Amino acid sequence: MAIDTISPDLDGSGLRIGVVQARFNAWAGEELAAACLAELVALGVDEGDITHVTVPGALEIPVALRRLADAEDFDALIALGCVIRGETFHFEVVATESARGVAQVQLATGVPIANAILTTDSEDQARARVVEKGRDAARVAVEMANLLWQLDDAGEEGGEDEVGPGAGVHRDE
């Protein structure tokens, strides 16, 4: 008996992607977004199939993600932001709670979310990571949207009309 293997699929054509970007540490958010959006287009996602919204900071990202996920109009979502350690405990609160919120939305809705909220000790560390993290978020979102589509397709014919994980997949094949 052969092992059934589903290979990574980075073809973004036909996918709808939502991007939520925090404006706090604006330079980082802008660089993350530029790299992410360019990579989405390079992967074949049509610009008209990308919705990009901004929120004040990392703690607001999960509620915007939840609203987008609840719309059932997106195959994957992306969280972009940057939290840089300061001299108080606030860093730990923002880093932990924003990550927890993103994970909760993903698990509650079944819509995959690429979490590219950078958490670094310094601005230099953030600057060294923003571009690659933005690109990586695009790749993760496309790959996970396609994986859920393939898993749904393997389990049922015509699964894109169902409610649940992967239900929003719009990929045309």
The catalytic residue positions are 90
Query: How many CB atoms lie under 10 A from the CB of residue 165?
Result: 17
Task: Report whether 14 contacts 166 (CB < 8 A).
Answer: no
Exposed / middle / buried, residue 15 (Cβ in 10 Å: 0-12, 13-18, 19+): buried
CA-to-CA dists, residue 91 to 66, 83, 118, angstroms = 23, 7, 12
Structure-token pair, residue 90: 């606030």
